[in-house]
């Protein structure tokens, strides 16, 4: 198994790299790395339903879809991501306990009693410190997880939507859990880099036939290309998810209106806004528009409908 210690914190590149190594290489890998602030959604989720659109838009936090299923997680430089990519036997490919065991053993070695709870969470004292997801590709499996060390819990909570009642969809939902940073339990590490170095040392000493490795230029080039063509694209991050219906009451020109948006492949395919003759006639103008903040604002501006930057978020 090759051990890769990633230096870049570019979430687009790092997610693309996992896919490249899974689908186009034959070696087994373990990867450790961190990402800049980003919200990572599961493959079968509806992006706006899972994230606080207002907060992530105003704070320029990217929303990125991964190829594995499961729920939404928040990444930043205080979160350590671990990934296993392995050849696998048919019928034994999905195995969360196998892939979280090295991480749990590491935490136990530090005096932290951690265990896997539910399908895929690692918890300490009943609080989540790690979310995990897996994806099978032919005879290979990708397992990746988070490990909260000193992440911004406030940003995490603000980035992820709690009230999803406006959305009706068959998309996979997230299972919110109370979370904790490991730094609250650990006194021997002043930075996440010290924690990461200790984990690298532990993994190197306790996983058989593992050796440190660097990315080849081909690995890097392929990941850059895939990041540009998929992971940075609206088509993947927002349009790929299942269709959904959004219903809400919205204030426009100081008057309350009811709004229903039917969204398929990221596009508003039907819109109904009731509450004033002006908005009833305007409804059709949103049909064919991407369900994104800048695009909706442009339509309102084009039709001379006065709506504030704050009010536009009532459509998400």
Q: List pLDDT tens digits, range 281-307.
A: 999 999 999 999 999 999 999 999 988
pLDDT at 88 over 90: no
Give Cα separations from 116 to 53, 68, 102, 175, 290 (angstroms). 31, 19, 12, 15, 39
Helices assigned H by DSSP within the chain: 11-24, 47-50, 53-58, 96-109, 153-159, 192-206, 217-226, 234, 277-282, 293-302
Find the mean pLDDT for residues 235-242: 96
**DSSP code per residue over 181-222:** -GGGT--S-SSHHHHHHHHHHHHHHHSTT-EEE---HHHHHH
Query: How many Å apart are CA 287 and CA 237, to the nearest integer?
Result: 20
CATH classification code of 2-239:
3.30.930.10
According to DSSP, the residues that pair with 256 across neighbouring strands are 251
Query: How many Å apart are CA 54 and CA 310, to the nearest integer?
Result: 8
C-beta of residue 133 within 8 angstroms of C-beta of residue 69: yes
Q: For residue 13, how far is the Cα from the chain centroid?
A: 14
- pLDDT score for 285: 94
Query: How many Å apart are CA 13 and CA 220, to the nearest integer?
Result: 9
- pLDDT score for 176: 83
Query: How many Å apart are CA 72 and CA 65, to the nearest integer?
Result: 9
C-beta of residue 128 within 8 angstroms of C-beta of residue 179: yes
Find the mean pLDDT for residues 4-17: 97
- pLDDT score for 14: 98
The model's confidence at residue 103, banded by pLDDT at 50, 70 and 90, is: very high
Find the mean pLDDT for residues 111-132: 93
- pLDDT score for 237: 98
C-beta of residue 117 within 8 angstroms of C-beta of residue 123: yes
177 or 244: whose pLDDT is higher?
244
- pLDDT score for 9: 98
The model's confidence at residue 81, banded by pLDDT at 50, 70 and 90, is: very high
- Give every CB contact of residue 7 below 8 A, 6+ residues apart in sequence: 33
CATH classification code of 244-315:
3.30.390.50
- pLDDT score for 68: 96
pLDDT at 111 over 80: yes
> Percent of the chain, pLDDT > 70?
99
Backbone torsions φ then ψ of 243, nearest 5 degrees: -65, 160
**Global pTM?**
0.94
Domain extents for the chain? Answer: 2-239, 244-315
Give Cα separations from 62 to 15, 37, 70, 89 (angstroms). 13, 8, 18, 35
The model's confidence at residue 188, banded by pLDDT at 50, 70 and 90, is: confident
Query: How many Å apart are CA 99 and CA 201, to the nearest integer?
Result: 18
Find the mean pLDDT for residues 80-101: 87
- pLDDT score for 118: 84
225 or 309: whose pLDDT is higher?
225
Find the mean pLDDT for residues 105-129: 94
pLDDT in tens, 199-225: 999 999 999 999 999 999 999 999 999
pLDDT at 90 over 80: no
- pLDDT score for 251: 83
State the greatest distance between any 2 C-alpha atoms of the chain, in Å, as a whole number: 71
pLDDT in tens, 142-179: 999 999 999 999 999 999 999 999 999 999 999 888 99
Find the mean pLDDT for residues 248-261: 90
> Percent of the chain, pLDDT > 90?
86
């Amino acid at each position: 198994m090759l051990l890769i210690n990633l230096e870049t914190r570019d979430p687009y590149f790092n997610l693309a790299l996992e896919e490249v190594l899974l689908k186009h290489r034959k070696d087994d890998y373990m990867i450790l790395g961190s990402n800049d602030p980003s919200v990572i959604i599961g493959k079968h989720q509806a992006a706006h339903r899972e994230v606080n659109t207002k907060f992530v838009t105003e704070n320029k936090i990217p929303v990125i879809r991964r190829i594995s299923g499961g729920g939404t997680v928040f990444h930043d430089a205080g979160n350590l991501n671990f990934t296993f990519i392995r050849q696998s036997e048919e019928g034994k490919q999905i195995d969360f306990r196998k892939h979280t065991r090295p991480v749990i053993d590491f935490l136990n070695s530090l005096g932290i009693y951690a265990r896997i709870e539910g399908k895929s969470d690692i918890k300490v004292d009943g609080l989540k410190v790690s979310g995990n997801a897996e994806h099978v590709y032919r005879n290979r499996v990708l397992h990746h997880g988070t490990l909260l060390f000193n992440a911004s819990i406030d940003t995490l909570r603000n980035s992820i939507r709690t009230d999803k009642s406006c959305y009706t969809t068959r998309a996979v939902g997230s299972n919110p859990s109370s979370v904790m940073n490991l730094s609250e339990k650990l006194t021997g590490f002043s930075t996440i880099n010290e924690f990461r170095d200790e984990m690298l040392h532990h993994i190197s000493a306790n996983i058989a036939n593992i050796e440190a490795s660097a990315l080849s230029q081909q690995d890097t080039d392929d990941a850059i290309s895939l990041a540009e063509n998929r992971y940075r694209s609206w088509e993947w991050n927002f349009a790929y998810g299942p269709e959904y219906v959004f219903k809400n009451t919205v204030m426009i020109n100081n008057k309350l209106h009811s709004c229903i948006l039917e969204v398929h492949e990221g596009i508003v395919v039907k819109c109904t806004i009731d509450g004033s003759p002006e908005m009833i006639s305007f409804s059709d103008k949103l049909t064919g528009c991407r369900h994104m903040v800048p695009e909706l604002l442009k339509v309102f501006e084009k039709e001379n409908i006065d709506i504030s930057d704050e009010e536009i978020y009532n459509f998400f």
